[in-house]
Amino acid sequence: MDIKGKHLLMDAFECDEGILNDPSLLRRILVEAALDAEMEVLHCYFHQFTPQGITGILVLATSHLSIHTWPEENYASLDFYTCGDKKIIEIGYALLKQLASKKAVVYSISRGIQYAETPTKNRQHAENTRLLNRGDDSDHVSLKQLLSGQHDILFHQKNRIQDIQLIKASDIRMYLDEQLQFSSLDEHAYHEALVHPIFAASLRPHRILILGGGDGLALREVLKYKEVKEIDLVEIDADVVNAAMNVEELKKLNQRSFEDSRVTVHIQDAVDYLSLNSACYDIIIIDFPDPTNKKISALYTKEFYALLHRSLSRSGLVVCQSNSPRDTPIVFWSINKTMKASQFYTLSYHTIIPSFGDWGFHIGSKTPLSAPILSTDVSSTTLPSDFTKLMRFSPHSLSKKQFAVVNSAEHLVLHKIFKKEGLYL
């Protein structure tokens, strides 16, 4: 048996109160959505509460669609599950539009047995192979040593996306598929470098999009800017956000950043979010893992950066963590070249992060960008007062620039270059 499905869970805010209290209208909206998804409607039931509020459910062939409304709060929750190959994310957004929702959180989850045809033994082998595709030798060794010594497991969840480990020893560390994501000893060096230079270069940092960053640490830095009015954070793994919102040690580290009213979390694939996004952002921050395999490499393509370009305001900026200009210089400059192939002007910089070494970033803009000279008014503990010091590269790194390539959907090579540069097995 091979059951596959797509599951949308949607929280719709600031909806039209009249629509949320009209059972016949809601019935029509949901039935149309089901038919758009090419699903057979087997049964409908809608119940209206007194004085207000509606619960409705459509039983579909091998699936369902339900809604619960709180008109007095202008809020509705929707649950849409379908089996088959039909993409329902567009239909989900159309549903939100029909409810006149001005703000929403969408959880897009793949459900079912994805490898039903694979014997159990082979599934285990595939899982082991997946784990070996992320994390270099030093990560594996440090994790093994960490687990053999005095430590506390603060959070451990293995899901369909990755294996999440949050460990407290002399510091707090998060590993995803045994690849180190951060150490509390020096994560500030990374997150300050990721966030503050782009704010120094921004003309109007009001609306911000963070892709990845489910630990809330980049979010913590963004929230230091009072002029920021709205932040959307898109993270594919709900368990990472769950840890960031509920594990006390991590909440302390991210300064309870998810509790800020300016923040909206979208548990969703970044490509899906950007493909359907109609808003324009002043700053987009990309905090993705390293392109160690084909799937992650696809998030560093010309096509993906084109989606980012479309989602930026005219003076908007994007920043992408881009690996090490010393240890993986061809990867670093290939990301730069790929951004340029997507009509971005770029500005490159780097800093030292003890847990990772020399680490690089690229800022992209729609118009030529001069280097930000001074730091922002927000204080940082690890950055120089003159950001131009971060933009000087060694002759070794610059000599590798000539070998950079454009990473695209048709020519997906960044993960292969990563392996050739010797960091990953």
Catalytic: which of 22, 63, 365, 408? 63
Pairing between β-strand 207-212 and β-strand 41-48 as defined by DSSP bridges = unpaired
Question: Quick one: which of 236, 18, 209, 275 has its CA closest to 106?
Answer: 236
Catalytic: which of 287, 290, 327, 358? 287
Tokens found for residue 104: 């929403």
> Which residues are documented as binding site for S-methyl-5'-thioadenosine?
162, 235, 269-270
Cβ 338 vs Cβ 409: under 8 Å? no
Cα–Cα distances in Å, from 114 out to 5, 87, 90? Answer: 9, 16, 22
The crossing angle, in degrees rounded to 10, of helices 23-36 and 89-98 is 160
What's the one-letter identity of residue 175? Y
Tokens found for residue 398: 């610059």
> Which residues are documented as binding site for spermidine?
191, 215
Question: Quick one: which of 159, 21, 43, 29 has its CA closest to 94?
Answer: 29
Burial label for 10, CB within 10 Å (0-12, 13-18, 19+), is buried
Cα angle 31-13-251, degrees, rounded to a multiple of 5? 125
> Which residues are documented as binding site?
162, 191, 215, 235, 269-270
What is the three-class DSSP state of 156? Answer: strand
Tokens found for residue 60: 């579909």
Q: Is-catalytic flag, 379?
A: no
Identify the H or E element spanning 27: helix 23-36
Tokens found for residue 360: 């690089």
Pairing between β-strand 75-83 and β-strand 4-13 as defined by DSSP bridges = antiparallel
Cα angle 190-250-131, degrees, rounded to a multiple of 5? 70
Report the C-alpha gap between 322 and 362 in whole angstroms.
7
Q: Is-catalytic flag, 287?
A: yes
Cβ 82 vs Cβ 5: under 8 Å? yes
Tokens found for residue 218: 């980049």
Pairing between β-strand 230-235 and β-strand 207-212 as defined by DSSP bridges = parallel
Catalytic: which of 11, 36, 64, 68? 68
Cα–Cα distances in Å, from 131 out to 121, 175, 288, 292? Answer: 16, 11, 17, 11
Widest pairwise Cα distance in the chain: 73
- Name residue, tokens 């989900």: 92
Catalytic: which of 36, 44, 77, 83? 83
The backbone region for 76, taken as left when phi is positive above 0, alpha when psi lies in -120 to 50, beta otherwise, is beta
Report the C-alpha gap between 341 and 324 in whole angstroms.
21
Enzyme catalytic residues: 63, 68, 83, 287
